[in-house]
A = this chain, B = another copy of it.
């Protein structure tokens, strides 16, 4: 069906190698023949077969993105960032949603690894050793996770927590609750530690309420425990949790922010749509996706060279204070 390099060669009256060169290393061929080849290729609507090319160059021109749950609005943003950068480099992106399942994650990674040049693992759930093993065979960039010295793009969670605490302290809060995410979550751990540090530095009391699933239901479940802590403000693992919390608080007739201030993390679109609008720490999600691909491309270029490429990017988030939130505690 599709034209092959031979069809183009025949039509242009040259050899297949010349066609190949004319199209991928134009400077190596005579401008005249180059033009002939080009027009022949155009008229046949020829596009080189990526699989065949990959077989010989070792580059597939594809890239894999593995993430835990597309239903969490955090991740589509990352996908967009990754795709934007990948497209600019003429790479196609395999996306794999693991449904928060570690086993599925490693399986998918193995399946993808063989047909991509590199992999972006977004908030991977797998263990450190597992990830190290994967990284041994494949070029990998972690996104929102740090493991050994693996290349990674991460957010400065500690700084985000610092901002959140500063905001709450300025409003007069002195006792803050922290709703942590999944026990095995690297970012929950980071956020928790950053928060503990910030609380200590800024002289406020911190109560952890622990380990909830990273979505709406988790927040629903956490709400009552949060209330029981007697804290006047709460910071949640992410916005989805915050929104679930808001719902349960509303159900119990607890006014937000008058009786309890709520701060989320991520700044998903829904945060602005919630009523009252959710105060949150905005993470540069798309940018993180773009940078992850950027990093991957660098690594691929330096693959053979022995020099150390830059291997880690840390991105800062920003406090988003929204209308109708941020009332001092009673």
Give A residues with C-beta under 8 Å from B.
Answer: 1-2, 47, 49-52, 54-55, 60, 62, 70-71, 73, 76-77, 79-80, 83, 87, 92-97, 99, 108, 110-112, 114-115, 137, 216, 243-244, 247, 250, 269-270, 273, 275
Contacts and interface: CB of A to CB of B under 8 A. Distances in A.
A96 B50 CA distance: 17
B96 A83 contact: yes
Nearest to A216: B273
Interface of A is mostly: helix
A115 B50 contact: yes
Contacts of A62: 94, 115
Nearest to A108: B87
B47 A51 contact: no
A285 B115 CA distance: 29
Contact of A71 (B71, B73, B93, B216): B73
Copies of the chain in the assembly: 2
A5 B114 CA distance: 14
A20 B325 CA distance: 65
Contacts of A77: 71
Nearest to A83: B97
A70 B60 contact: no
Given A51-B51, A247-B273, 5 more contacts: A2-B114, A71-B76, A80-B99, A243-B273, A250-B275
Contacts of A70: 70, 76, 79-80
A71 to B, nearest CB: 5
Given A55-B51, A70-B79, A80-B70, A112 B94 contact: no
B243 A115 contact: no
Given A71-B269, A94-B94, A269-B71, A115 B51 contact: yes
A179 to B, nearest CB: 17
A54 B2 CA distance: 15
12 contacts: A51-B51, A51-B52, A55-B55, A70-B79, A70-B80, A76-B76, A87-B108, A92-B94, A92-B96, A244-B273, A270-B270, A275-B275
